[in-house]
C-alpha cells in the first residue's frame, strides 16, 4: 500500500503545479516573489532573458495557480499564491517521507500494545484463509 501522492487536490491541477515547478527560472521567479510582489520588468532584471520570455514563464505559473497578476494595466504586478504551494506539498510529501510518518505512529502504537498484553487478536476463524 502506498499513500504518498494521494492527491487531495485534483490530479490535473497538481500536474500543472509540478510541471510549472520543474523549471529553474520559474522556481527562481517564485523565490523572488516570496520577498514581495514584482512587475515583469523587475522579474526579468536578474535573468539574461527577454521580457517576452519571462512573460511566458509567468503565464505557466499563473495557469498553475502559483502566482496571480494585479489589475493595474501598466504594471500588472505578480504575487505568489502560497496557498497553492501548500496544497501541492501537503500530500506530495514524498513516498519515503509519507511512510516514515505513518510508521513512526505505528512504532508508538506497537509500544503501547506491548505494554497492554490484553489486546485481543483476531479470532482465528475470522482471519482464516478460506481455501
Partner 1 sequence: MTSPAKLEITTPSELEIAMTRVFDAPRALVFDAFTMPELVQRWLLGPDGWTMPVCEIDLRVGGRYRYVWRRERDGSEMTMTGVYREVAPPERVVSTERFDDPWYEGEAVVTLFLAERDRTTTVTQTMLFESRETRDAVLASGMESGVERSYERLDEVLAAQAATARR
Judged by DSSP in three states, 50 sits in coil
Q: Which helix (H) or strand (E) holds 67?
A: strand 67-69
Instruction: Provide the binding-site residues for partner 1, judged by CB under 8 A.
Output: 1-8, 11, 18, 21-22, 27, 30-31, 34-36, 80, 82, 85-86, 88-111, 113-114, 119, 121-122, 126-131
Residue 100 vs residues 3, 107, 111, 112, 113: alpha-carbon distances, Å: 11, 10, 16, 19, 20
- In whole angstroms, the minimum distance from the beta carbon of 57 to partner 1 comes to 15
Whichever of 36 and 50 has its CB closer to partner 1, that residue is 36
Whichever of 50 and 82 has its CB closer to partner 1, that residue is 82
- In whole angstroms, the minimum distance from the beta carbon of 117 to partner 1 comes to 10
Residue 65 and residue 81 in contact, taking contact as beta carbons nearer than 8 Å: yes
Amino acid at each position: 500500500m502506498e499513500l504518498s501522492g494521494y492527491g487531495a487536490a485534483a490530479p490535473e491541477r497538481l500536474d500543472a503545479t509540478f510541471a510549472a515547478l520543474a523549471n529553474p527560472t520559474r522556481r527562481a521567479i517564485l523565490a523572488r516573489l516570496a520577498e514581495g510582489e514584482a512587475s515583469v520588468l523587475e522579474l526579468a532584471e536578474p535573468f539574461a532573458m527577454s521580457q517576452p520570455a519571462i512573460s511566458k514563464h509567468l503565464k505557466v505559473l499563473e495557469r498553475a495557480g502559483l502566482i496571480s497578476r494585479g489589475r493595474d494595466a501598466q504594471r500588472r504586478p505578480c504575487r505568489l499564491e502560497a496557498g497553492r504551494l501548500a496544497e501541492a506539498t501537503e500530500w506530495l510529501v514524498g513516498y519515503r517521507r509519507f511512510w516514515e510518518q505513518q510508521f513512526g505512529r505505528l512504532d508508538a502504537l506497537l509500544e503501547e500494545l506491548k505494554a497492554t498484553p490484553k489486546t485481543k487478536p483476531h479470532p482465528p476463524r475470522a482471519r482464516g484463509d478460506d481455501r
